[in-house]
Structure 1
């Protein structure tokens, strides 16, 4: 542990923008506050920690893309050894994508990396920012290794967080997994037993951004797959119907899927349903998809499936190798 003065835990606060750092402008809310300005507004919630700040971006999270993910991961990889934990402030709209991809890129990170933000700017008198930051600092000082999202007194594993509300303070939910911890009258209450990584930390930041997400609708034109093939996409995630189904009467998605797979594109199939696992072996339509080479996503969130496919393709684009990656549970992202 990297104790600072008076034995306090050392926490690095990295800011990337988002609502939490926004102020009103003529064009609407825009992230303008620096990390120093944000820190100055925290008052007594950092009294028990030695905090250093780092300004990384001033971006709306809609503009945080794979290039920014690599910069965030690189920033953490360069600095984590000097701290007991890291708090990363981030816009809420793509927070679940960032928490998922960082979970894969920061392999065996030995300290907590905690992502949080707010639904109202920290300068707003009724903002949820201070409450979320209070929880984030507590989790960052907990010693539990890994990537987490802290929001509304809940601590969620990075690959299980999903934004479910656009404006409500209870904006994130843990999908198909228990919370990592909750904050209540007993303080920070851990709901699992943290395990320190056996292996040394490794930054795995090569990504393939050529991944497309399709949400099936009844009657979807199969020719969309021809377009994706022409656009040189390397991976596709399909949100299918229910436990796992694609239509093959009149508009035959199954045959097109076979063409895509034979062209060397990895296709991951999961469910449009938010909760519970998909299983494409149950119905005829799902079995046909598996026969043509689709890879099952089971109970993964869409955010985790998309980012894991980007990460896996970045390491090795061979479909057989990507299939092996999806048959491996690295950070609790999938129940096999």
Structure 2
């Protein structure tokens, strides 16, 4: 019996074609993704049925919270039919891939089939409709299909072939990080090389008689929507916090430099870290004045690292109203942002937020 896989096309480069040198999302590219798999050398091409699902036609740089809500509503609609499928593949653009995999790793936590996100570094078709030899999209899609056919454990994944080493990697959705500018490679802390799928250590754990979906976090969003309510700030030299107006934010997520630090002193001439608008503590106090929760991540506090002298200032600082900076470590920036987005959109209590942010 053929395995049945639902293919959802959100858009992105993997769903684009080229016309007069301009890329745009098209139905032709989406269908070509399936046709290229059928013509591939995969051992599973004749043992799987690929059902085309909804097309959203979103270039991933144009992904917004409202667009996410549209995709969430679609998943809510198809959940009752989950038992029909051995897996789901979502074709998605690279620009915001890590945010979407992080989001659905949380909303679909506990799902009983694997869900794969696949993307491409270039359009899969050239302007003359022939396969693009530079694109890795068809290979990424094939890897996802083969992982499903080998009964990979249920969860949220991304398959992506890095151009630099020409290896196909399997990433957990919650651990994937954004692709760097001027780079076409994706990374995660526990990526698995599945270039040869016959040697990949998959485990058969799918139980086809258990497709209860009411417990899935995504169902908490029935009749509700995610809100673009989190202000995320990334430090850089010369960041002037007076230029930020956080009053409309439900919470602030402040990132760090690679060493887990952020500026706490304005200048060498003025050691008073509260004296200037370049200090994170100055900005935190402004947020505290408006009762806006303030999160700092990823920090190396608690990771048994030696920390820089600036870090204890952040750890120990207390605003005039008694509020403290909430420090977290060990998770990606993308996942922390997504967790806060979900928590504050659903009006979690502080106890629920603390537990949610601490979960793996």
Q: Where do residues 170-249 of structure 1 align in structure 2 (5 Å cutoff)?
A: 171-174=185-188, 177-179=189-191, 181-185=192-196, 187=198, 189-190=200-201, 201-202=215-216, 203=218, 204-205=220-221, 206-225=225-244, 227-229=245-247, 232-241=248-257, 242-248=259-265, 249=273
Give the secondary-structure state (helix, strand or coil) at the position aligned to 1:57: strand
1:252-292 deviation per Cα after TM superposition (whole angstroms, max 9, x unaligned): 43143134135332222124xxxxx6228945533333343
Distance 2:328 2:288 in 1: 16
Q: CA 1:168–1:188 in structure 2 vs 1: closer, same or farther (change >3 Å)?
A: farther
Instruction: Find 2:177's aligned residue among 158, 162, 165.
Output: 162
Number of aligned residue pairs: give it.
Answer: 311
Match in the other structure for 1:334:
none
Give me the TM-score of the superposition, normalised by structure 2: 0.77
Asked if 2 retains the 8 angstrom alpha-carbon contact of 1:280 and 1:286, the reply is: no
Which structure carries more strand by proportion? 1
144-153 or 308-317: bigger deviation: 308-317
What's the CA shift for 1:193? 9.1
1:130 and 2:123 aligned: no
Match in the other structure for 2:295:
268
Decide which structure has the larger Cα Rg and report it.
2
What's the CA shift for 1:304? 1.1
Q: Point out where structure 1 has 5 or more consecutive residues left out of the alignment.
A: 1-6, 272-276, 330-336
Match in the other structure for 1:139:
147
Match in the other structure for 1:296:
327
Q: Point out where structure 2 has 5 or more consecutive residues left out of the alignment.
A: 127-131, 162-167, 266-272, 319-323
Distance 2:260 2:205 in 1: 32
Give me the TM-score of the superposition, normalised by structure 1: 0.82
Match in the other structure for 1:305:
336
Give the secondary-structure state (helix, strand or coil) at the position aligned to 2:355: helix
Give the secondary-structure state (helix, strand or coil) at the position aligned to 1:244: coil
Asked if 2 retains the 8 angstrom alpha-carbon contact of 1:211 and 1:233, the reply is: yes
What's the CA shift for 1:192? 8.2
Asked if 2 retains the 8 angstrom alpha-carbon contact of 1:237 and 1:268, the reply is: yes
What's the CA shift for 1:102? 0.7
Q: CA 1:54–1:185 in structure 2 vs 1: closer, same or farther (change >3 Å)?
A: closer
